[in-house]
Amino acid sequence: MRLTRQEIGLGERSYNVVVASDFRGLGAELRGVQEGDRCVVVSNPTVGALYGAVVRRELEAEGWKVEELEIPDGEAHKNLQTWGRLVEALVNLGVDRTTPVLALGGGVTGDIVGFAAATVMRGIPFVQVPTTLLAMVDASVGGKTGVNTEAGKNLVGSFYQPVLVWAALKSLESLAEVDLRSGLGEVVKHALIEGEVALADCERMAPALLQRDPEGLAKVIEASIRTKARLVEADEREAGPRAVLNLGHTLGHAIETVGGYGRLGHGEAVGLGILAVARFGWGRGWLTERELPQRIHGLLGRMGLPQKLPFEADAGALARAIGFDKKRARGMLKIVVPQAPGEVVLRKLTMEEVPALVDALKRLG
């Protein structure tokens, strides 16, 4: 059975990210980091039907009394209403500060459950059990939790670290193609941040990843976790170097907001955001590897990701969505620019420069 551990070193808030073949050992791992005798598993209808029973058995085998709750799936339900109903349900179950709540599902489930765990009784233990590639490589690690509003993505939330992350590769077998591709968008992001070797690995492995090669997927998952761990440990609350993890997200979030949550997968939108900002940076003379936009364009294609917006989007609406971005301060927008593999930096734009950034997105093709 494959089992690797990567520690996220944050002092008292440190925790392990376990990449395993399946769910065997989850109950024992939780027993090793959390006291108590009851836990709550929160999932969505699709994932719960596939993996709820086996997760329950693994937990009960280690003496956990398991309660189960269900929330709807999809970005359209990642809102304050779903969060509020979950908070009420957890309170009604009588949870206390020794009751771990497990998020069994993708990034949407993990974000909502994590935010609920952060706020019920001012914080109860939280476990991420990601079942999508996107959640394994990104959303489950680092402690970002929250929900969307009509104005934009993740505008309400908190930094709240889990006590454990358990990524079972078995769950990727049932993953829809669109969700596989969405996860690969974040893999591309991490490879660009890490450097030439990681990016070249992605270029080489792209066909195998699309075919769900187990070893290839395990390799990019573990590599992404190492990259994210390094940055989270250096900057837990995104005051400095961790901000490079937002590569592609300023435009990606705007695409999701304007297009409607769920119209494009998160990683698909992020991939477009990465390509557009690379093209924008090329036009400004910021890139030290001038061929980088072409490499990104080619890699997105090999990963099955879109290389241009698949729908018409109003430029003004995109600019307004960017204006709500959390990375805006004092009339300036901070964007993350890939200048070369491993050379990813923050640049400041005035709000008057945003239309040119939007134009770079709309001109992709």
CA distance 147 to 7: 26
Q: Which domain holds residue 354?
A: 177-362
Residue 27 contacts residue 20 (beta carbons within 8 Å) = no
Tell me the pLDDT band of 139, cut-offs 50, 70 and 90. Answer: very high
Count Cβ atoms below 10 Å from residue 58 Cβ, excluding itself.
Answer: 22
For 231, half-sphere exposure in the C-beta direction (CA atoms, 13 angstrom radius) is 24
Check whether 329 has a pLDDT greater than 70: no
CA distance 67 to 43: 11
Number of structural domains in the chain:
2
Name the percent of the chain lying above pLDDT 90: 92
On whether both 170 and 191 belong to a single domain, the answer is: no
On whether both 285 and 229 belong to a single domain, the answer is: yes
Tell me the pLDDT band of 262, cut-offs 50, 70 and 90. Answer: confident
Residue 224 contacts residue 186 (beta carbons within 8 Å) = yes
Q: What is the mean pLDDT of residues 148-156?
A: 90
CA dihedral angle for residue 33, residue 67, residue 154, residue 50, rounded to 10 degrees: 100
State which of 174, 207, 238 marks the end of a domain: 174
Looking up tokens 């489930």 gives 109
On whether both 261 and 292 belong to a single domain, the answer is: yes
Residue 167 contacts residue 140 (beta carbons within 8 Å) = yes
On whether both 130 and 190 belong to a single domain, the answer is: no
Check whether 115 has a pLDDT greater than 70: yes
Report the candidate in 207, 98, 107 with the shortest Cα–Cα distance to residue 167: 107
Tell me the pLDDT band of 330, cut-offs 50, 70 and 90. Answer: low
The β-bridge relationship of strands 15-20 and 164-168 is parallel
* Distances, alpha carbon 238 to alpha carbons 7, 65, 70, 235, in Å: 19, 36, 31, 5
Q: What is the mean pLDDT of residues 31-47?
A: 96
Tell me the pLDDT band of 283, cut-offs 50, 70 and 90. Answer: very high
Start-to-end CA distance of the chain, whole Å, equals 44
Could you tell me the CATH number of the domain that includes residue 143? 3.40.50.1970
On whether both 191 and 72 belong to a single domain, the answer is: no
On whether both 240 and 298 belong to a single domain, the answer is: yes
Q: Which two tokens stand for residue 351?
A: 């709000």
Name the percent of the chain lying above pLDDT 70: 98
Count Cβ atoms below 10 Å from residue 88 Cβ, excluding itself.
Answer: 12
Residues 6 or more apart whose Cβ sits within 8 Å of residue 54:
22, 23
On whether both 196 and 344 belong to a single domain, the answer is: yes
pLDDT at 1: 63
Residue 132 contacts residue 174 (beta carbons within 8 Å) = no
Residues 6 or more apart whose Cβ sits within 8 Å of residue 4:
18, 19, 222
On whether both 108 and 210 belong to a single domain, the answer is: no
Could you tell me the CATH number of the domain that includes residue 213? 1.20.1090.10
Q: Which two tokens stand for residue 106?
A: 């993708």
On whether both 34 and 146 belong to a single domain, the answer is: yes
On whether both 25 and 157 belong to a single domain, the answer is: yes
Active-site residues, by number, are 122, 144, 186, 228, 238, 242, 246, 249, 253, 266
Q: Rounded to a whole number, what is the largest CA-CA distance in the chain?
A: 60
State which of 117, 150, 174 marks the end of a domain: 174
Check whether 15 has a pLDDT greater than 90: yes
On whether both 159 and 192 belong to a single domain, the answer is: no
pLDDT digits (tens, 9 = 90+) for 157-207: 999 999 999 999 999 999 999 999 999 999 999 999 999 999 999 999 999
State which of 174, 201, 218 marks the end of a domain: 174
On whether both 268 and 163 belong to a single domain, the answer is: no
Check whether 237 has a pLDDT greater than 70: yes
